[in-house]
Amino acid sequence: MAKKAAEERVKELRDAIRHHEERYYIDNDPEISDEEYDRLLHELEKLEADSPDLIATDSPTQRVAGRPVEGFVTVEHVTQMLSLDNVYDEGELKAFDERVRKGAGIGDTPVAYVAEMKIDGLSIALTYEDRRLVRGATRGDGVRGEEVTANVRTIRAVPLALGGGPRGRVEVRGEVYLPRASFERMNREREDAGEPPFANPRNAAAGTMRNLDPSLVSRRGLAAFTYQLVANREAAPRSHSETLTAMRKWGLPVEAHWRRCEGIDAVVAFCKEWADRRQTLDFDTDGVVVKVDDLALRERLGATAKFPRWATAFKFPAQQATTVLKSIAVNVGRTGAVTPFALLEPVRLAGSTISMATLHNAEDVARKDLRDGDRVLIEKGGDVIPKVVKAILPHPAGSEPWRMPSSCPECGSTLRRDEEEVVWRCLNESCPAKLQRGLEHFASRSAMNIEGLGESLIEQLIQQELVRNFADIYKLTASRLENLVVAPREPRSERARPRKLGKVGVNVVDQIERSKQNDLSRLIYALGIRHVGEKAAATLARYFRTMERVMEAPAEALQSVPEIGPVVAASVRAFADEPRNRQLIVRLTKAGVNMISRAPEPSHDPGPLAGKVFVLTGTLAAMSREEATEALERLGARVAGSVSKKTSYVVAGSDAGSKLEKARQLGVETLDEDAFLKLIIKN
């Protein structure tokens, strides 16, 4: 493709991808399928790989950084990020309104407020310079937070460049959160891997944003909403409602259900309306944020040392209920992890009927001393996942402490537990429950991406003994699936009758056939090797290039690969040493499944700056922090987040912070921007 044509196509693709990201992540109204979106992104990746000079920091391909950071830098906010005072009922809301009117000196004149859903997530400050994202920082103590720019860039709801708005430097504040579907998926994966689940989406979001590996952050599926504009007041609208409308036009994600309310009575009505409706949202909210709309009036009202006088948070009542714990059962995951859960007397809670609740592991049950027949207090963790808080004593007469079963409820095999773990496991590879969960993972979007091969169809295939392992999937034919008679999932339903799969079966076979061409990294991840996530699978595929080399590599060779530690290496070696697994790979190969990596081979050229460690601080005029990092890494250097005795150079731009001072204390050589650019150009 000619240079000019490539430039034009790259621009078209970037504009199209950002448009579809807005439709999906901000408007919740996608215009194309995920597969069509992926095709656009892959085409852009190929064009940029062929012409690296066309790569820009705000390209959609540059969201995920290539390597983990070493630590987070502390940065100072332009203005303090204040907390909100809380109110809990209508009377306290009206008392807040009285204080506002008194402070404004307007007597009984109604005040216009904006009511917004209170997002239960992690506060974030986004800095844009000439409409390009240059920094993301956590709230921290309100004055200083941690710079998490690399992680923020992975959140597709956050635009890397604004589609309008003021030039110069502007700070946008908002909330990073984990959608309910992402939270539930992530906890299922953690439980399958024998890891403790997160307690609620807020904790999960906070933990994710503080992870040092941006590629892991990307996989978690974080989202974001923005709600405030600071540090560019001459460009700001006159009211908060106008600000939200403008931010949305610039391409920033703004939660859609906010409302301008004329007077406090309208605010009260809004809070009552959403007390139950909040369950229809795809994110957690524990209240409503109420803000004075007029920005000039906000200035007059000011703030206390902790809270703005012009805003408050109305908190919804706690979501708890009591019911009877009928029995404790266990579930078998794809890795064989056997976890207990509670079967409850159905009870209404937070707008839905709850009949099951999570019990994290046998130790959790023992610690709470939960027994069959107990009356228990339950709550929705983060208003989503029901959990048992405690037993309400006394226990029923004659009840006994619960004991973890010694055998698998699905296949009868003896359960075992490693000394280092709290999780019991079924080690029988032929266990139907493990096969069910394993096939669901194998066909999932991030693995082999076989659309249509979901939980219910897999269950039918196992029951009818058409599939006994992953390789059997590739024996399924269009005629066999088209005529497959599937039983109803709810046999008591009047409309539920056994039926043929029909055209759905043909489509599934098409998807199975397409999956054969997936990159090797997807297959490695799909196999469900313990401790091997998407990133480790991609790393193994990239370095070893073929499945044969992965299977034959000694533990030492596996561990020599960057970011592959002893636990992952031992797990891969254990998988490869199992004869049944080696036979599975042979069968998959014969079925035509791709066993070769198509990713670019890692460079073995150490580069002129190999072994050097750089730390960047302040703002560079000629390039962004990301561009400077990319330039250094291309030359073989490593970019760290904090200064230590191992630091080779500190590059100090304008407004350099505490890292420059620490470099001087440690005697680390510093470079100003001119010296840094000369170093880059020379090498």
So which residues are the catalytic ones?
118
Apex 618 CA angle, 614 and 624, nearest 5: 80
Rounded Cα distance between 110 and 117, Å, is 22
> In angstroms, what CA-CA distances link 222 with 1, 149, 318?
36, 14, 25
Rounded Cα distance between 384 and 364, Å, is 20
Q: Name the DSSP class of 396.
A: P
Longest Cα–Cα distance in the chain: 83
Pair of tokens at residue 514 = 């397409």
User: How far is residue 372 CA from its own chain's centroid?
Assistant: 36
Q: Which of 143, 208, 138, 215 has its CA nearest to residue 179? A: 208
- Backbone torsion region of residue 376, taken as left when φ is above 0, otherwise alpha when ψ lies between -120 and 50, otherwise beta: beta
Rounded Cα distance between 634 and 637, Å, is 7
Rounded Cα distance between 130 and 560, Å, is 43
Are 646 and 656 within 8 A, CB to CB? no
DSSP 159-220: -SB-SSS-SSEEEEEEEEE--HHHHHHHHHHHHHTTPPPPSSHHHHHHHHHT-S-HHHHHHH
DSSP 117-171: EEE-SEEEEEEEETTEEEEEEE-TTSSEEEB-HHHHTT-TTS-SB-SSS-SSEEE
Are 114 and 293 within 8 A, CB to CB? yes
Rounded Cα distance between 532 and 334, Å, is 13
Pair of tokens at residue 484 = 């497959």
Beta bridge partners of 520: none
The stretches of 604-672 forming alpha helices (DSSP H) are 625-634, 658-666
First-last CA distance in the chain? 30
Tell me if residue 406 falls in helix, strand or coil: coil
Q: To which H or E segment does residue 262 belong?
A: strand 259-262
Residues in Cβ contact with 91 at an 8 Å cutoff, skipping those fewer than 6 apart: none
> In angstroms, what CA-CA distances link 272 with 88, 145, 227, 490?
12, 35, 22, 36
Residues in Cβ contact with 236 at an 8 Å cutoff, skipping those fewer than 6 apart: 229, 243, 295
